Each structure stands twice: as structure tokens, then as C-alpha cells.
Chains A and B, each alone.
Chain A
């Protein structure tokens, strides 16, 4: 009886870890190349950016803005825990200091940290399955002791069949709801079933009326991407 119980909890532990790992790597694979449209809405302005994104594992990301023309060529490179922005108009690379990690990335509601993603759900958070119904898992995540995270808790809702996320709710250390990310428009692309649209809504007062929507126009998993794509030299190339 005891053994049975032990096995079942163990089995579940493995299971949740598997889910988290899947969520962590859903959009990332070994290498990916994607075209993204990012629409940012605030009470004062709205704009849409189109960009190309190259990734390699969790550690390397390279983003180049394609439109609007005014911002074309602005690029962001992330290597492990470091991040740089490149501005072609002034031909300047600016390293994002740690203090700026929580600042907005390109005016969106995403932070620089969201892009760097030093943390993975699987390795840096303690997971607990709080609820399970016919179609969804409800998982509650709290940062592990050694994890440096600004989130006090993340609630994750995952589709049971296809194991893709449906919703992520972020809380701060005081249990206050900070932002919600909703995943929609599920499609099968390059052999993976993933939500193509992510809507991020902040709940803080100063960000009232803000919303950022990311739509994947195209995503390719495991294309050939040379290491040099993620180099400083490539970042600084005028496009």
C-alpha cells in the first residue's frame, strides 16, 4: 500500500516535470526560425512590429525587426544571461544591464527578462498539480529557494491531450496578480501542435489599458542555424 502510494506520487512528479519541460521547450526545439507579429496597445498609442526570430536551445536568441520601416534592422541578441540591443541608425550596440532586465522590451508589455528567460519552469520552480479536470491540468508553480525570480507564484493551465499551455497567470510575492498570458489559435505547424497567438495583459494600475499580442506567422523547427548567427558580429551587421 505504502509502496503503491510512493510510486504514484513519483509517477506524478515525473509527469508534471514532463509537462513543464514540454511547455518550456514548446516554441524552442533545438533550433527554430520564426516570423512574429507583435501588436502593442496602450491608451496613448498602438503599433505593430514584425520580426524574425532565431533560437538555439534555451540559451541563444536573435531577433531582428523587419517593420515598421522606422525601426527596421533593430536587433536583439541574447546569449546565455547577457543581452544586447543594436540600433542601425546610430550603429550602436547597447548591453542591457541587469537593472534593466525588468524594463519593457521594445515598448511592449514583455520585459527584457522574458526574452532572456534565465529560468525554466521545470528546473527553477516547485510544481504542484492543484486541479485536474477532463481536459486541463492546473499547475501551481512557486520559485525554488535558490531561484531568483520576481514572481511569487505562477499558475499554469495546460491542455491535457496535446500538452500545450492555455493560460499563465503571474503573481508577485504579495500574491497580487500582475499579468495574464492567454494562448489561443492552436495549429499544427512543422509537426508540432502549438498555440499561434499569445495575449499578454498586465493587471497593474500603471499599465491599465495595455495589451501585447504576439502572433506566430510562421515557425520552423530544427532548421540549420549556424552558431555565427548568435554572434556580436552578426548583431552589428547593417541589414
Chain B
């Protein structure tokens, strides 16, 4: 009976219903879209970040994290390597060596970081190979072959095939010095990531720095969401520690968290605006019918049933709006997943160049706004419902 009345009320005043549901629909889509954008920009940022350099997790010697000393290294990589290969969630992993060098070309010098990598394994963990501009990816046989960043190349005026002199401190106290050959140069577009990096193969780097260990293992898992669990469950053994990217790139992660909190403010404002909009239309649609409710009460409807009817009515509109809103915002979000919003001025974040913000469709893009619409509709309809239930029929009828 009440259900029926609620339905009847909805379809009786089509314009009023349309207005209220449009408000809810718009609010739903707005929240859904802004969530998709937030998730998208950070999700992309994280994916970007982990796939460019960090990997999902990294293993170091415990002391290395503080000292970054060449002496605090991973000595038994073979053992670590075999225990990593046994893990089903590990897609790939790559050993690395890193240390500062001074790069010379004729009289010009440039401070850089020499990174020894496994030419075959590294591209399985990061996008390094895709960033290549000029030249070819070196094979594993050549000695002292390097790939340099665009910045180093332009400052030292390096071309493919050129000799590059590197000087540094060897692990045995000697002065490391040798000639390296430019095999490839990174793409200019990826400035920031490879600016100060010179890549060579592990064994050349080991010979150059006169030591036999490795310093870092970067790991890629099946999915980035598995990192925390994997870091907890996998024991690298000995004095080694495994850390997820959130710890490895703590600064970036923290900055991102702060940024997220800042965005939260905007997000809450959007929610309030949506709630106020719903409040407005629901309130209006109920209060303008006070007379009607007075009649209902006069013919003997109990206040409880009246409240139930009003709330149901509002919730029906909300359900329809949420369903329509979910469908609509799915397509809106899909568009921005594909095309993104281009920034008029590209910005760098955590050393990465960002020119587009892409949306991402996550479950919470649909669940959260639904909750907000239902919740605010309920809260907002509660007050006029109670008010109209309490109104005495005589006063309500007299009001004009």
C-alpha cells in the first residue's frame, strides 16, 4: 500500500521527479568522475614510476639503505636468484650496480651515475628498452658498452660510437678509470629519468669498480597490489632486506600521499555540493506537498507510515538515478581513460614528465558515489519526512 503510494507519487509529478533525479544523477557522475581521475592520475603515476626505474620491490643489503656504500653489497646473488625464481608471483627480477662517476669528453666533465645492469633481464622489469632513442640495445657480449641519457649526451656532445671516459673510486681504493663506448642514447622525451644515468653491463661495471658483488635487485610481480604481501612473506635471507616501492621511493610516496590528502579537500567539497543539491530538490519536493500530507494524516495515515512513504519515495528516485548514473559515468570515465585530459603545460612529478591525466575505472568509482547519493538522500529526506509527519492536519490544510 505504502509502496504503491510512493510509486504513484513518483510518477504523478514527472517534472519534479525528473528534476530531483537529474540532480542525483549529476552528483553521482561528478563524484564518480573525480574519483576516476584521482585514481587514474595516481595509478598511472605509480605504474609509471615503478615501471621506469624502481620495479615493484627492491632487495638491498641492510646497511646499504643508509650508507649507499659500495661495500655494503649483495654477495650471494646466485642463491638469491634461485630463491626468487621459485616464487610464482615474481614475473622477473634484475640485478644492478650503482655508483657515482665523473664522465669526461675532451675537456668537459659531467657528474653522473654509472648503473650496471643485465642487458637481458633489465627490460623485463622496467621500460628502459622502450626509452631508447638513438642506437641499438647492446648485446651481452660487448665490454664497456654504455647507454647514456640525453642530457649527458648533449652537455658532453656525445654521438653514437664515441668514446666516453669515466673516472670514479674503486671498491679496492684504487682510482677506477676506463674508456666506454656509446652504443645508444635515451630519448629526449624522457628527460628527468635518465638525465644523470649511464648504463653499462654488470660485468663491465664490476671490473670498473673492482668488485665482484651486486648492490640491488629490482623485482616485478604479477600485479602491483601484491607488493606489500610479498614483501612480508618473502625472506631474502642473511643481512638482506626486501622493500616495496612505497619504501624504496619513500619521498615520492609521501609527496603523493600529501597530494592525495590535498585532493581529498576538493573531493569533499564536491560531495558537499552534491549533498546540498539533493537536499534542495528533495526538500522542495516534500515541503510543497505539506498540504497533501495533511490530507493523508486527516484520513488516518499513521506518522510512521508517512515517514516510510516519503523516504521510500526519495530512495526510489535515488536507485533509478544511481543505476542511470553508473551507466552514464562508466562511459564518461571510459572516454577519459582512453583520451585523458591534456595539460596545457606538462609538469614533472617525481622526476617524470606528465602531459596527460588519464582516468582509471576502479570499483570505488561506482560504489562510493552510490553510497553518497543513498546516504545523503536518506538523511536529507528524513528531516522533511519527520516534519510533515508531525504536522497537524488542520494546520497543514489551512496553510495556503
B is bound to A: yes
Residue numbers of A with Cβ under 8 A of B are 40, 42, 44-45, 47, 70-71, 74, 85, 87, 89-90, 92, 94, 106-108
Contacts of B177 in A (CB 8 A): 87, 89-90, 92
Contacts of A44 in B (CB 8 A): 71, 171
Question: Do B165 and A90 touch across chains, with their CB atoms under 8 A apart?
Answer: yes
Known: A70-B174, A87-B177, A107-B169. A92 touches B210 (CB 8 A): no
Question: Do B173 and A47 touch across chains, with their CB atoms under 8 A apart?
Answer: yes
Contact of A42 among B173, B174, B175, B179 (CB under 8 A): B173
Contacts of A40 in B (CB 8 A): 173
Contacts of B171 in A (CB 8 A): 44-45
B167 at the interface (CB under 8 A from A): yes
Contacts of A106 in B (CB 8 A): 173-175
Contacts of A90 in B (CB 8 A): 104, 165, 167, 177-179
Q: Which residues 143-192 of B sit at the A interface, judged by CB distance below 8 A?
A: 165, 167, 169-175, 177-179
- List 10 other contacts, CB 8 Å, given A47-B172, A87-B167: A40-B173, A44-B171, A74-B175, A87-B177, A89-B178, A90-B167, A92-B104, A92-B165, A92-B177, A107-B174
Task: Pick 11 A–B contacts, CB within 8 A, sort by A.
Answer: A47-B173, A70-B174, A70-B210, A71-B175, A90-B178, A92-B104, A92-B167, A92-B177, A94-B167, A106-B174, A107-B169
- In the complex, residue of chain A having the shortest beta-carbon distance to the beta carbon of B180: A90
Contacts of B165 in A (CB 8 A): 90, 92
Most chain B beta-carbon contacts within 10 A, residue among A40, A42, A107: A107
Closest Cβ of chain B to A209, distance in Å, is 12
A42 to B104, CA, bound (A): 29
Contacts of B167 in A (CB 8 A): 87, 90, 92, 94
Closest Cβ of chain A to B111, distance in Å, is 14
Closest Cβ of chain B to A65, distance in Å, is 10
- In the complex, residue of chain A having the shortest beta-carbon distance to the beta carbon of B170: A107
A47 to B170, CA, bound (A): 12
Contacts of A74 in B (CB 8 A): 175
Q: Which 10 A-B pairs have the closest CB atoms?
A: A107-B173, A44-B71, A87-B177, A90-B165, A45-B172, A90-B177, A90-B179, A47-B172, A71-B174, A89-B177
A44 to B210, CA, bound (A): 13
Question: Do A47 and B174 touch across chains, with their CB atoms under 8 A apart?
Answer: yes
Most chain A beta-carbon contacts within 10 A, residue among B170, B172, B210: B172
A90 to B175, CA, bound (A): 12
Contacts of B104 in A (CB 8 A): 90, 92
A106 to B174, CA, bound (A): 6
Closest Cβ of chain B to A16, distance in Å, is 38
Contacts of B175 in A (CB 8 A): 71, 74, 85, 87, 106-107
A156 to B37, CA, bound (A): 73
- In the complex, residue of chain A having the shortest beta-carbon distance to the beta carbon of B177: A87
A94 to B210, CA, bound (A): 21
A34 to B281, CA, bound (A): 99
Closest Cβ of chain A to B97, distance in Å, is 16
Closest Cβ of chain B to A42, distance in Å, is 7
- In the complex, residue of chain B having the shortest beta-carbon distance to the beta carbon of A94: B167
Closest Cβ of chain B to A83, distance in Å, is 14
A74 to B171, CA, bound (A): 17
A42 to B174, CA, bound (A): 12
A42 to B70, CA, bound (A): 14
Closest Cβ of chain A to B100, distance in Å, is 14
A90 to B167, CA, bound (A): 9
Contacts of A92 in B (CB 8 A): 104, 165, 167, 177
- In the complex, residue of chain A having the shortest beta-carbon distance to the beta carbon of B178: A89
Contacts of A94 in B (CB 8 A): 167
A86 to B181, CA, bound (A): 21
Closest Cβ of chain A to B207, distance in Å, is 10
Question: Do B173 and A45 touch across chains, with their CB atoms under 8 A apart?
Answer: yes
Contacts of A71 in B (CB 8 A): 174-175
Contacts of B179 in A (CB 8 A): 89-90
Contacts of B173 in A (CB 8 A): 40, 42, 45, 47, 106-108
